[in-house]
Amino acid sequence: MIKDSIQKQKAVRYCVAHGYVPFMECLIRYSADTSDKAADITDVDVLGVRPAAEMNARRLVFDCKTLAKTSAVGRALWAAGLLQLLKADEAFVILLKPAPEGHRLAARQINVHLFAEKLFDEHGRASSADYLDGITYLDNLEAWDALWALRLKYPRMSPLIEYLSSDAAFERDPAVGFRMLLARLKLAEGEFDVSKPEHRLLYGVVVSQAMVFLSSLVHEFNAVFDAGMKLEVFQASLRNYVWGGREGVELRKRLQVALQAGRKEEIHEFQLPGWDMFVEVTRSLLDAPLLSGAAALPVKDLAFKEVALPSALADKRIKFELTGNARARQYALLVNRYVGSLSRLLKDCSDHLAGALAKATI
């Protein structure tokens, strides 16, 4: 059961209104923990990630508190520490009652915005005409619960869902994030059943997250990309980038050869899953790198629609975002096709999402 639900719905709507892909109740763990068992630090009530475009990806943190005795300045200082830990850009603290003016002004100096619920609504409406009830399926709390509940029903899906719900949102290295996403998807791919709405929900979230990572990946790789590159040079450069440099590639090649030799298996070339199609996808995204993540938000919205009641207002917004530029729907279909190519069961989900994308733009 999600606590402070009304405030979290407001935070999600704010994210959607400003083009941020929302995540809810993201668990924070320290990645360099030296103990055998990872210790949970805290969680973020709502996190918004805006895919890379003209600028690098941006992150908003939302702290939602309905307790009347919560200190405004205390929450502001807490949120500022969270910003530093996560290397996020801004924080919003939504409180039950207004904070003193001095607290609000002081909080602004540390990139924290203190709002009572009513004032946050006023700020949301003033900042975007899309801050409306019913504008998105992503504020459906039952859908978030359904996504999280899949961990218990399908244990093999648990690592993927936990990654999508927390670590993926915080990952700063898009190549590492994308590789980890594919690794977790590999563990879960045999569990996908396109006839189940919750599985279609999860698949859509995977595609959306892939687009978030790829938007940052091509944003960075574009610095060394030359449209006149021969295919062989492009592939070599991309492979080195994805694996953290030429030495990283060589190290993993040697490791794979050693493992396959130890198991007396046939030696296969070391590659990212679906390498040829990944090269095709990346090259296409580099034709318009600033638009590579444009469909990440509407794709995640369509995923949540699988387990929600229809909303004409949300459908209208999704259609606008998918048709607002010539690349959004094209890139959504392209990334969806790549993810679906990784296994037969994923292809069934990919075909369904392709149909949903087509229907959404009619």
Cα–Cα distance, 9 to 215 (Å, whole number): 26
Q: Read off the amino acid at residue 175.
A: A
Please give the chain's pLDDT, 362 residues, in tens.
566 789 999 999 999 999 999 999 999 987 666 666 777 889 999 999 999 988 899 999 999 876 666 688 889 999 999 999 999 999 999 998 888 999 999 999 999 999 999 999 999 999 999 999 999 999 999 999 999 999 999 999 999 999 999 999 999 999 999 999 999 999 999 999 999 999 999 999 999 999 999 999 999 999 999 989 999 999 999 999 999 888 877 777 777 666 766 666 665 667 899 999 999 999 999 999 999 999 999 999 999 999 999 999 999 999 999 999 989 999 999 999 999 999 999 999 999 999 999 999 99
Q: Bridge partners of 62?
A: 46, 92
Of 146, 168, 117, give the one whose Cα is nearest residue 14. Answer: 117
Cα–Cα distance, 185 to 180 (Å, whole number): 8
Q: Which residues contact 197 (CB under 8 A, 6 or more apart)?
A: 306, 307
The 10 Å Cβ neighbour count of residue 348 is 18
Of 55, 63, 58, 52, give the one whose Cα is nearest residue 87. Answer: 58
What are the phi and psi torsion angles at 26 (to 5°)? -85, 120
- What pLDDT is stored for residue 33 in this prediction? 64
Interval 13-49: pLDDT, tens: 999 999 999 999 999 987 666 666 777 889 999 999 9
- What pLDDT is stored for residue 254 in this prediction? 77
Q: Read off the amino acid at residue 145.
A: D
Cα–Cα distance, 33 to 258 (Å, whole number): 29
The 10 Å Cβ neighbour count of residue 84 is 11
The 10 Å Cβ neighbour count of residue 152 is 9
Stated pTM of the model: 0.93
- What pLDDT is stored for residue 260 in this prediction? 66
For residue 144 the two structure tokens come to: 């978030």
- What pLDDT is stored for residue 268 in this prediction? 61
Of 158, 160, 258, give the one whose Cα is nearest residue 210. Answer: 160
Interval 55-72: pLDDT, tens: 899 999 999 876 666 688
Please give the distance of CA 41 from its chain centroid, rounded to a whole number. Answer: 21
